[in-house]
Amino acid sequence: MLKHYHFSKGNSPLLISMPHVGTKIPKEIADNMTSEALKMPDVDWHLPLLYDMAEKHDATVLSAEYMRYVIDLNRSPEDVCLYPGQDVTGLCPLDTFAKQPIYLAEKQPDELEIRNRIEQYWRPYHLKLAAEIQRIHAIHGIVLLWDAHSIASRVPRFFDGKLPDLNFGTADMQSCDESLQAALSNTMQQYENNFAKQSEHSQKYSHVFNGRFKGGYITRHYGVPTMNVHALQMEMNQSIYMQESPHYAYQASLAQAVKPLLSDLLATCLAWAYQFNASANND
């Protein structure tokens, strides 16, 4: 079984997953796609670069190689809807976020093709993710899974107006202990207080917990607080670090402003994990 992912091993309790950063499309699939789909508008662009502080935190990083149009690694293999009653895209999406067709007429994948994609592209990623959760848990007794995403600031299909800059999803605090969400909320509050008092930061960032994005399959499936595996999703507004129109360029000046905050949030997760584990072991 081929890997079809990128992997960097760390030894802290922090595991960062990037299921939507892939840009590779096999030729036999690309040949059936529309020109609009091949522009790849819905990639979570540049996250490995944005999260380059992961090495400083000794985090393990797992990222996708293939694009979400091939198969969406943040959906269940049964393609269960994440947000019942809302417009969503599926395991092998047929249209873009802008509701443009992904495939040429009569070229959509059939059930056999979808099953093949699950085995070839979806399963290797999730086997590796599960194995790393097990490895990290064996070392530390606790795992902090940070599922990293980004999306265009305005996608009328999914939400009204402009998306907040930082969107934390903890499945309404079902995928992690509530004290982790409280710790992250406190970090954001401290950041906002520093901005208001000293204007130390060049940019103020809006945020929300469990707003439009509560966490996808990875957050909900792997986050099991009772087993000391705590998961959350971070959906970032792309306007705070990149150009949102083709060619979707990374804007270093914007990124450099948000990266210290992002690093502080990862540090908060690690500090919380060590303290939470120590408290549990002392009980």
Give a yes or no: residue 281 inside a domain.
no
Rounded Cα gap, residues 28 and 6, in angstroms: 22
Give a yes or no: residue 280 inside a domain.
no
Give a yes or no: residue 279 inside a domain.
no
Does residue 94 have a pLDDT over 90?
yes
Tell me what pLDDT residue 48 has. 98
Give a yes or no: residue 210 inside a domain.
yes
Domain coverage including residue 231: 5-274
pLDDT, average across residues 147-158:
97
Write down the pTM of the prediction. Answer: 0.96
Q: Identify the band that residue 196 occupies on the pLDDT scale cut at 50, 70 and 90.
A: low
Tell me what pLDDT residue 216 has. 97
Asked if 44 and 150 touch (Cβ cutoff 8 Å), the reply is yes
**What CATH number did the domain enclosing 206 receive?**
3.40.630.40
Structure tokens at 234: 């971070």
Give a yes or no: residue 24 inside a domain.
yes
Number of folded domains that form the chain: 1
pLDDT, average across residues 206-218:
97
Does residue 23 have a pLDDT over 60?
yes
pLDDT, average across residues 163-187:
98
| DSSP assigned state of 226 | G
Tell me what pLDDT residue 198 has. 62
Structure tokens at 272: 């919380």
Q: What angle do CA 170, 56, 281 make, to 5 degrees?
A: 55
Give a yes or no: residue 176 inside a domain.
yes
pLDDT, tens digit (0-9, with 9 covering 90-100), for 97-131: 999 999 999 999 999 999 999 999 999 999 999 99
Give a yes or no: residue 283 inside a domain.
no
Tell me what pLDDT residue 197 has. 66
For residues 105, 36, 90 and 236, what is the CA-based torsion angle, rounded to 10 degrees?
Answer: 180
